[in-house]
A = this chain, B = another copy of it.
């Protein structure tokens, strides 16, 4: 079962349209399988001679977020990153210099984080606890 087709079906079932730009953006997310910025999406489309306006890019991002197809990440930068939402829970290792990114994951760490989230629920007035954990460093090229 093709992941992009299953996303298309989801959109159609809600009555949303499958435009050329939307399909390209969805497939870009699937192919990259890594966090990308709005600007990177624009550049990718531009190379394929598809000139979507930046407003449209941001509206697509908002739309895909709303439908839980992508997720938003905030690294040390001011700009937001987005990646396709998959079932595997993972975090990132980001180069402080060039933003090259790798996935990282640890079952032991997730267990500890879940414990922490339970403690927070019990010990504070906050509800709906989520977390963001990212690692930063210098990649080989940037050392």
Contact = CB atoms under 8 A, between A and B. Distances in A.
A36 B72 CA distance: 23
Interface stretch (A19-27, A55-63, A135-143): A135-143
- Per assembly, the copies of the chain total 2
Given A77-B74, A139-B125, A133 B130 contact: no
Contacts of A132: 76, 132-136
Contacts of A52: none
Interface string A105-117: 0101100110111
Interface residues of A, number: 41
Contacts of A78: 78-80
Contacts of A138: 126-128
A93 interface: yes
A124 interface: yes
A5 interface: no
Given A109-B112, A116-B104, A137 B133 contact: no
Contacts of A128: 96, 137-138
Interface of A: 72, 74-80, 93, 95-96, 102, 104, 106, 108-109, 112-113, 115-117, 119-120, 124-140, 143
